[in-house]
Chain A
Amino acid sequence: MSSRKKNILKVIILGDSGVGKTSLMHRYVSDKFSQQYKATIGADFLTKEVTMDGDKVATMQVWDTAGQERFQSLGVAFYRGADCCVLVYDVTNAKSFENIKSWRDEFLVHANVSSPDTFPFVILGNKLDVEESKKVVSNRAAQDMAKSLGNVPLFLTSAKGSINVDTAFEEIARNALQQSQADADAFEDDFNDAINIQLDGEPSSCGC
């Protein structure tokens, strides 16, 4: 019981097509940006070793998903076991911002998380590098929404300009680690309960 599965922090990135999900993942994992990223089909993932609070080592597994709506039905397969969900919008695209809430709901419906109320989300407003005149989502509106969704942490980022990406993912990792530990504890309790029930039951009641 003392040795356990490697500490995997599973993170899912969701958001409308073209908001920069793939770029954010690559910027975080390999600190690169390219104009050549293709549209994602289905789901891709990358991993990165992270160290938190000086000593906790974990493997962050970032799952990047397709933005087109028709691929959402695959979510069921990919969301399972997620420790944190990152919702991305594009600061120059109002629609992508309005859709943040439905991406969150979509995730909660399909991920089958143990406690939807406390499951950690992080919101990223990407493409901060573009000129001011093109930005249509105000910081105020973003903060209001993050608050209304239950004080979800919000970061304005630029995968291209490498702004705030590391800071955001540090927060994501912290949240994921917390969630993963909470899950493990709940799991431990369930596990013990299950054993207790078995011990309490009559030996004859076991039909196997």
Chain B
Amino acid sequence: MVTDGYSVLVNGHEFLGESVMGEKSVLYFREGERLSSKSKNISSVMVKDDLEALLSLGRSQDGFVKNDLRRPVWLKILKSRIAFDASRASSMGKEWSDIVSHKDEHQVSLDVRRSFGDIKDDAAKAFLRQALEQTIVRVLRKFPQLNYYQGYHDVVAVFVLVFLQTQRSNEDSELSDSTSGSSSIAESEYHDNLSSSSISTKLADDSVLSIDGDLLFEAVVIFTLLYLRDFMMNSLTFTIDQLSLIPLIIKRHDTNFYNRFQLHQIDPFFALSSILTLFSHDLRHQSQESLSIVFQIFDLVISFNSMMVPLTIYSNLLLAKKEDLSARLQDNLQNFDNDTDLIHGVIQQEMIVGSGPQLWNSVLEATRKSDNSIGQETKRVVNKFSVLMTERALPVTIEESLNWLEQEVRLSEARSTTPQGYRPPAVSRWKIITQSGGPTLVKMSLFVGFAAILLKLYMRTLDNHSGSSIFTLKSYFDHLKTLKFSGLRQPRRVWLDPIQNLLETIGRRSTS
């Protein structure tokens, strides 16, 4: 009997809490019915080979419902975008284990050792870690131009769980079967054909865990090349570009919130781990329900074919919590050294507490209805070969996708040889303001500022102090230059600094 591996491991249910009995049971059965009918739907669409119908099922409530379905469905959709075949890939060259190691493998093993910490069974934990490490190393050796980042292991861990199958020798697997109902017969055809690339292990309770390594590898390779490229460059630059879209989305929906959280000047690094890992880093360990949310987020990325999805989700999450966030901000004004820490701290704390399944379900629902296509602003912020730009050009061959990767790597390297190391996204944000935001306003204020300087210079000249004012200007520009080359971020705000510092000083001193 094949059941969902993770449910068996934690002896719970993938979708529902423990309160099966009591007042929630009506809800339970209604939900069970809904899931079972959707499962049947997905299975029959798979049989009909109807890709469009499959995508729209993935975009609707509950996504692809459960991992027994996700395995074949994800593979089918991903392979329709890049035709990549693991067996062909390895027969063409050497076996992956013979290829020279990748520079980041040490980091991989450090992170794998800290993965699946929530799995109680030691044998199961070791098995999952082994599958995780093998898959990541195989991807990196196959595509050495990719740079591993901490968080990639969280993403691949989600795939490992989806591709994990548990076979139980005894028949009492009623828990995992309750949602599949009669559809389990239709599904069985997808998971019985274990290939030679399977790895497996037997647990103390006689159940057998297995993973088809080749299928897992294929899914991870395609997903990586399609959606994670930006994160796997030699620096975080393109990742930060993606993050900077979050404030833009927020601004479109709620200017007040945008202003209150100073999103025009504070880099949204608070969203880093969520975006890099498609929320798997922050959500995975909280509960069964949150694990199910993670799977559904992956369902959405795959069926919308867009890495805008995580950015939209994050923005929707902030907006859904804006009242709590504002209250928390107010409560913490005195508790942080500076505004960057304050905003980062408040958002991070709020995200850790109070994001229950209900809130998440409404955020996911809002995201399903959101426009997940990229807008004009995206095009100005991200690079030409960003995953956000190339997603419209699918399907492609593996060679074409590798060409994108190569071009993007080249752009990234060109950017990181500039003296700054990393370019703050503000430059592109500035472009947006001038091009779309309020061009007249910007030009007007520039004009007024410039006129004031000229006027002052003119007055000084009248006072016969022309020599000294030129000297002052020169030293000012020298100061600007020094700041720029020491890699500091001040230059763009230097004009404001003297006043700002004074104001900050006064503000900080007088508040209690």
Query: Beta-carbon contacts of A66-83 to B below 8 Å, as 1s and 0s?
Result: 111011011011101100
| CB pair A191 B236 closer than 8 Å | no
| CB pair B236 A68 closer than 8 Å | no
* Complex Cα–Cα for A17 and B112 (A): 12
| CB pair A37 B117 closer than 8 Å | yes
CB-defined contacts of A45 to chain B, threshold 8 Å: 345, 348
* Complex Cα–Cα for A45 and B508 (A): 22
* Complex Cα–Cα for A41 and B267 (A): 16
List the one stretch of B46-54, B143-151, B165-173, B426-434 in contact with chain A: B143-151
List the one stretch of B72-80, B272-280, B290-298, B379-387 in contact with chain A: B272-280
* Complex Cα–Cα for A18 and B106 (A): 11
Among A6, A8, A41, max chain B CB count under 10 A is at A41
* Complex Cα–Cα for A89 and B489 (A): 30
Shortest beta-carbon distance, A113 to chain B, in Å?
A: 13
CB-defined contacts of A71 to chain B, threshold 8 Å: 150, 236
| CB pair A191 B107 closer than 8 Å | no
The size of the chain B interface, using a CB distance under 8 A, is 50
Closest residue to A8 on the B side, CB-wise? B337
| CB pair A38 B502 closer than 8 Å | no
| CB pair B236 A39 closer than 8 Å | no
CB-defined contacts of A36 to chain B, threshold 8 Å: 117-118, 285
Take A8-B336, A39-B150 as given contacts and tell me if A44 and B110 are in contact as well, using a CB distance cutoff of 8 Å: no
Task: Name the contact of A41 in the complex, choosing from B235, B281, B452, B487 (C-beta under 8 A).
Answer: B281
Closest residue to A1 on the B side, CB-wise? B509
CB-defined contacts of A201 to chain B, threshold 8 Å: none
Task: Name the contact of B149 in the complex, choosing from A68, A80, A81 (C-beta under 8 A).
Answer: A68
| CB pair A81 B115 closer than 8 Å | no
Interface status of A5 (Cβ within 8 A of chain B) = yes
Main secondary structure of the interface of A (DSSP, over half): loop
Query: Beta-carbon contacts of A23-50 to B below 8 Å, as 1s and 0s?
Result: 0000000000011111111111101000
Take A5-B334, A5-B511, A36-B117 as given contacts and tell me if A18 and B269 are in contact as well, using a CB distance cutoff of 8 Å: no
Take A10-B341, A18-B110, A36-B117 as given contacts and tell me if A61 and B336 are in contact as well, using a CB distance cutoff of 8 Å: yes
Closest residue to A7 on the B side, CB-wise? B334
Interface status of A94 (Cβ within 8 A of chain B) = no
Task: Name the contact of A42 in the complex, choosing from B110, B273, B336, B508 (C-beta under 8 A).
Answer: B273
| CB pair A4 B512 closer than 8 Å | yes
Interface status of B505 (Cβ within 8 A of chain A) = yes
Shortest beta-carbon distance, B201 to chain A, in Å?
A: 20
Interface status of A109 (Cβ within 8 A of chain B) = yes
Take A68-B149, A70-B235, A194-B502 as given contacts and tell me if A38 and B335 are in contact as well, using a CB distance cutoff of 8 Å: no
Interface status of B66 (Cβ within 8 A of chain A) = no
Take A5-B334, A38-B117 as given contacts and tell me if A207 and B512 are in contact as well, using a CB distance cutoff of 8 Å: no
6 more A-B contacts (CB under 8 A) besides A41-B151, A71-B236, A76-B488?
Answer: A1-B509, A6-B334, A17-B150, A18-B110, A45-B345, A76-B489
Where the two chains meet, the residues of A that have a C-beta atom closer than 8 Å to any C-beta of B are: 1, 3-6, 8, 10, 17-18, 34-45, 47, 59, 61, 66-68, 70-71, 73-74, 76-78, 80-81, 109, 112, 187, 191, 194, 207
List 29 A–B pairs whose Cβ atoms lie within 8 Å, in order of A's numbering: A1-B510, A5-B508, A5-B511, A8-B335, A8-B337, A17-B107, A17-B150, A34-B117, A37-B114, A39-B110, A39-B151, A41-B151, A41-B273, A42-B269, A42-B273, A59-B335, A61-B335, A61-B341, A66-B150, A68-B150, A70-B236, A74-B236, A77-B267, A77-B269, A77-B340, A78-B340, A78-B341, A80-B341, A194-B505
